[in-house]
Amino acid sequence: NAGVTQTPKFRILKIGQSMTLQCTQDMNHNYMYWYRQDPGMGLKLIYYSVGAGITDKGEVPNGYNVSRSTTEDFPLRLELAAPSQTSVYFCASSYFVQEGTQYFGPGTRLLVL
């Protein structure tokens, strides 16, 4: 099992550019999440999904979009990159929600200049 994989590991974007952060899990988990981590601010939930075709906003969804067409994949789309989106992005998945361990990917570091 590879667990949760994320690509790319690091990316530099210019203001206004778009990109998609990829996330794939091979554990057949129903629940998937996108977080951003900023220094000293902990983990903020961007979007989450409870199954294929079902997504919902988290705490900081503005500037992002997601889709979930399969159980395995949960890509995060940035349409018009802004410096405020400079962060480390983590994808996670879990089987059960309550008392369910969330398994995190290795992260994508994004720098918007």
Size of the site for another protein (CB under 8 A): 23
**CB neighbourhood size of 83 (10 A):** 10
Helix, strand, or coil (residue 9): coil
Q: 55 to 74, contacts with another protein by CB under 8 A? A: 58
Q: Is the dihedral of CA 10, 67, 96, 87 positive or negative?
A: positive
Report residue 96 CA to chain centroid gap: 18
Asked if 41 touches another protein (CB under 8 A), the answer is yes
Asked if 104 touches another protein (CB under 8 A), the answer is yes
Closer by beta carbon to another protein, 17 or else 102 = 102
Q: What does DSSP say about strands 10-13 and 108-112: parallel, antiparallel, or unpaired?
A: parallel
**In angstroms, what is the minimal distance from the CB of 25 to another protein?**
12
Which spans of this chain sit near another protein (rule: CB under 8 A)? 4, 31, 33, 40-43, 45, 48, 50, 58, 90, 92, 97-99, 101-107
